[in-house]
Chain A
Amino acid sequence: MKKKGFIRNLSVTLLMACIGIMILSPIVITFTNSFMTEHEIQGNYGLVGKMPVVTQGEPDVFVNLKLIPDWLSFEQYGSVLLETPTYLFMLWNSVAMVVAIIAGQTVVSALAAYAFAKLRFKGREKWFRVYLMTMLMPFQVTLVPNYIIADKLRLMNTAGAIILPGIFAAFGVFMLRQFMLSIPYALVEAAQMDGAGHYRIFYRIMLPLMKPGIAALIVLLFVDYWNMVEQPLIFLEDSFKQPLSLYLSRIHKDAQGIGFAASLIYMTPMVLLFLYAESYFIEGIQMSGIKG
């Protein structure tokens, strides 16, 4: 009985590991390929994006996907970090935008979430549902009016056009409300008995209790906004204002040779953050799934 279970367990593990490796493979390939020389990259993948007509007659010409580099080299990193100042510039653009959005959204939505979770007022559920609906909308739905408003507020082509809508996005309110619902209302009542006002309750009781929720929110927001493509594509014209995600979307055309290292550096903060705060990340996602 026990042995049978062991074998079954092992086979399932193997199967899952296979799928897991497939899922991880793009990341692993990026990692290993980032240590190839630019020359080797060109040799292996130079054919990507070439017209199919060129090889129509002789279909034997293919790219050569290789996992292990011929030579361990830091040439790509050197090129990215030392010879491509735009890269680092845009990296910090990304950092600045993400940090601003996270800081703003956490504060704004913690306040709003408290109101939605622990205060009774008329129209609370309806208003919250409005928030929820916008969360589900694709960005394109309000593209034109957003554009007009950004223009009116003189935000076009400034980081503000990305940061401000980010700060007021509904996601943080939703997340933190979900989290706060799990904090018993009795705590609020008990504090009120002691004569504490809502501001005090929020600051003294809720905030300390919300720390895991806020941590989860920060991780999720980081992931979300580190990835953003659509908003900067529309709102930022000057390349020196754009975040790194847009640079990488062009890199396979512009500078294939350093693409892998550039990608790897770009994903490193995310991966490190994930490894550090994996539990918060997973809790955060689970929290968003709990019916409120």
Chain B
Amino acid sequence: MATELAEALDARKKRVIVWLSGLFIGLLLLLTLASNTLLTLHLPKVRTELGREGALVTTWRGTARLMPRQHVDLSNKGEWSISEVHVKEGDYVAKGQTLITYENSAAEQEILDVQAGLAGQRLTLVDLQDEYIEAVQNGDEMQVRRSKRELERAQLAIDVQERKVSTMQSEASDRRRIIAPFDGVVTVVNAIPQLPAGSGGPDISLMNAQQGYQFEILIPDDVGQKLRTEEKMNVEIEREGDRVPVEGIITEIHPMTGVDAGASYQERTGEEAYQAAASRRVVVKVQHPNIQTNDLVSVEITQSEKREGGMLVLSQAIHQEGRNSYVLVMEERSGPLGNTFIVRKAPVQLGGTNGQETLVLQGVYMKDRIIVESSEPLTEGQRVRG
């Protein structure tokens, strides 16, 4: 009887304990789920991306202005004033075509003066002939010889004067006009009728149509390393809003170390300002019927770099610590309440970058989830929410 009672009591006690335990465990579970959710909400939010396999495509853009390959300035060499301009800027001209005519009244006057002097000398010559004839008739030996010498001297003076007239005349006809030395395009006309020549620089500029255009551009070494002369280069020329793809040929490459690459009109895409440590000046020849001097040329050089085992990572995911680079990787760890995410620091070895993406040679793997953005600064070992 007593043992039965004790057993009954014992069984009751055990039931109570079981009940209490169930309550305890249930409560803890509930709270754990709730508080774990709370904890998770407090965690910094991160955005991750996987590394991408592929070649690093580096794109470099630069612009330049087109320049004619051959360019000639023509001017009147004398102090002539312009009488008429036969062409205007942009005109195509053929070789030998007259471009500008000039006039110079003083020069013409001088020719006339010289010619008049010449006529006088000729008259004097006739006088001397007469004198000579008279002397011969007189039989005056001395007189004859004297007259003959006078006659020859006068003849010489006339010859000199005649040559002078002819050069003056040819000079005058030369300066009277400028003709095109080759087929080409008029680029600049400075000449204005009725004004003296050379008052505002060269009177007229011509470019050679046969030779085409060229432009010069400074290309940083790391991009331009693979460029060679005689190689083709695709460029685009902007014309009145259109972009005309044109093929250019590299004619010259000059290394320019340590020169500030006149980066005023060359800009590297991406955030980091380009530092002209070493660059090269590249001259590219372009031929196309529809282009003109000063047209804007844009050059785009794409280079793809691929390394075995390397992968591409967004540049914003890469952090610096002194000279070392690292990325933060989100690791999944299984815990008693599902999986948790932990930040791990992975030191990496970097290859090149194109501003947006960076080639990572070592340190992370394809399956690593690399943190590219986070709601707050992260430290290693921190829990985050993915």
Q: Please say whether chains A and B are actual partners in one complex.
A: yes
User: Counting chain B CB atoms within 10 Å of each CB, which of A83, A84, A92 scores highest?
Assistant: A92
Neighbour of B337 across the interface among A92, A269, A275, CB < 8 A: A92
Task: Give the contacting residue for B32; candidates A88, A96, A240; CB below 8 A.
Answer: A88
Do A276 and B381 touch (CB < 8 A)? no
Q: Across the interface, name the chain B residue whose C-beta is closest to A238.
A: B381
B39 touches A276 (CB 8 A): no
Using known A-B contacts A85-B35, A85-B36, A92-B32, determine if residue A240 contacts B335 with beta carbons closer than 8 Å.
yes
Per-residue contact bits, chain B 345-386, to A (CB 8 Å; 1 contact, 0 not): 000000000000000000000000000000000000101000
Q: Binary interface profile of A, 263-292, with partner B (CB < 8 Å = 1, else 0)?
A: 001001100110110000000000000000
The tally of residues in B whose CB lies under 8 Å from a CB in A reads 21
Query: Which residues of chain B have C-beta atoms less than 8 A from A238's C-beta?
Result: 381
CB distance B17 to A88 under 8 Å? no
Smallest beta-carbon distance A102→chain B, Å? 15
Residues in chain A near residue B38, CB distance under 8 A: 82, 85
* Selected A-B contacts with CB under 8 Å, 8 pairs: A81-B28, A82-B35, A88-B32, A89-B36, A89-B335, A93-B335, A269-B21, A276-B21
* Interface: A91 (CB within 8 A): yes
Task: Note all chain A residues with C-beta closer than 8 A to B18.
Answer: 276
What's the dominant secondary structure at chain A's contact region? helix
Q: Bits for A26-48, please: 1 = Cβ < 8 Å to B, else 0.
A: 00000000000000000000000
| B336 interface residue per 8 A CB criterion | yes
Chain A CB within 8 A of B20 CB: yes
A156 is an interface residue with CB less than 8 A from chain B = no
The CB with the most chain B CB atoms within 10 A, among A84, A85, A92, A269, is that of: A85
Does B228 interact with chain A (Cβ within 8 Å)? Answer: no
Flag whether A95 is at the interface (Cβ < 8 A): yes
List residues of A (79-130) whose CB comes within 8 Å of B's CBs.
Answer: 81-85, 88-89, 91-93, 95-96
How distant is the Cα of A238 from the Cα of B381 in the complex, in angstroms? 8
Partner of A275, one of B13, B35, B36, B381: B13
A247 to chain B, nearest CB (A): 14
Q: Which residues of B contact A273 (CB under 8 A)?
A: 21
Least CB distance, A246 to chain B, in whole angstroms: 16
A205 to B13, CA, bound (A): 31
Is B14 interfacial (CB 8 A cutoff)?
A: yes
A83 proximity list for chain B (CB < 8 A): 35
Pairwise interchain contact A272-B21, C-beta atoms closer than 8 A? yes
**CB of A265 to closest CB in B, whole Å:** 8
Q: Which of chain A's residues 4-59 have a Cβ closer than 8 Å to chain B?
A: none
Residues of A within 8 A of B265 (CB): none
B32 to chain A, nearest CB (A): 4
Decide if A240 touches B383 in the complex (CB within 8 Å).
Answer: yes
Say whether B340 contacts A240, CB under 8 Å: yes
Size band of the A side of the interface?
A: 20 to 34
Q: Which of A234-274 contact B (CB under 8 A)?
A: 238, 240, 265, 268-269, 272-273
Map CB proximity to A onto B200-221 as digits: 1 under 8 Å, 0 otherwise: 0000000000000000000000
* CB-CB nearest 5 A-B residue pairs: A85-B39, A92-B336, A88-B32, A276-B17, A85-B35
Interchain nearest-CB distance for B211 vs A (Å): 72
* CB contact between B36 and one of A88, A95, A96, A268 (< 8 Å): that residue: A88
Q: Does the CB pair B28–A88 fall under 8 Å?
A: yes
- Interface pair B383/A88, CB less than 8 Å apart: no
Contact call B24/A269, Cβ cutoff below 8 A: yes
Q: Name the residue on B nearest A99 (C-beta).
A: B336
Q: Which residues of A contact B340 (CB under 8 A)?
A: 240
Give the chain B neighbours of A268 by CB distance below 8 A: 24
CB A262 to nearest CB in B, in angstroms, measures 13
A93 touching B13, Cβ below 8 Å: no
Asked if B160 is at the interface (CB within 8 A of a chain A CB), the reply is no
Q: Does B31 contact A (CB under 8 A)?
A: yes
Which B residues between 1 and 58 are near A, CB-CB below 8 angstroms? 13-14, 17-18, 20-21, 24, 28, 31-32, 34-36, 38-39
A269 cross-chain contacts in B, Cβ below 8 A: 21, 24
Q: In the complex, A93→B24 CA distance in Å?
A: 17
User: Hey, which chain A residues are within 8 Å of B28, CB to CB?
Assistant: 81, 88, 91, 265
CA distance A117 to B221 in the complex (A): 82
The answer to whether A275 touches B17 (Cβ under 8 A) is: yes
Q: Kindly state the separation between the CA atoms of A240 and B21 in the bound complex, as whole angstroms.
A: 25
Select from chain A the residue with minimum beta-carbon distance to B383. Answer: A240
Q: Could you give, for residues 308-340 of chain B, a 1 whenever the CB lies within 8 Å of some chain A CB and a 0 otherwise?
A: 000000000000000000000000000111001
Cross-interface CB contact of A95 among B13, B39, B336, cutoff 8 Å = B336
Given A272-B21, A276-B14, CB of A81 within 8 Å of CB of B35: yes
For B13, list chain A residues within 8 Å (CB). Answer: 275
Nearest-Cβ distance from residue A87 to partner chain B, whole angstroms: 9
| Residues of A close to B24: CB separation below 8 A | 268-269, 272
Residues of B close to A92: CB separation below 8 A: 32, 335-337
Q: How far is the CA of A93 from the CA of B32 in the complex (A)?
A: 12
Residues of A within 8 A of B336 (CB): 89, 92-93, 95-96
A88 close to B335 (CB less than 8 A): no
Report the separation of the CA atoms of residues A207 and B381 in the bound assembly, to the nearest whole angstrom. 46
Give A91 to B336 CA distance when docked, in angstroms.
10
Find chain B residues with CB under 8 A from A81 CB. 28, 31, 35
CA distance A272 to B336 in the complex (A): 22
- CB pair A89–B381 under 8 Å, yes or no, is no
Inter-chain contacts of B31 with A (CB < 8 A):
81-82, 88
- Which residues of B lie under 8 Å from residue A276 when comparing CB positions? 14, 17-18, 21
Q: Which residue of B lies closest to A91 (CB)?
A: B28
- Rounded to whole Å, the gap between the CB of A162 and the closest CB of chain B is 14
Which B residues are CB-close (under 8 A) to A240?
Answer: 335, 340, 383
A95-B335 Cα distance, complex, nearest whole Å: 12
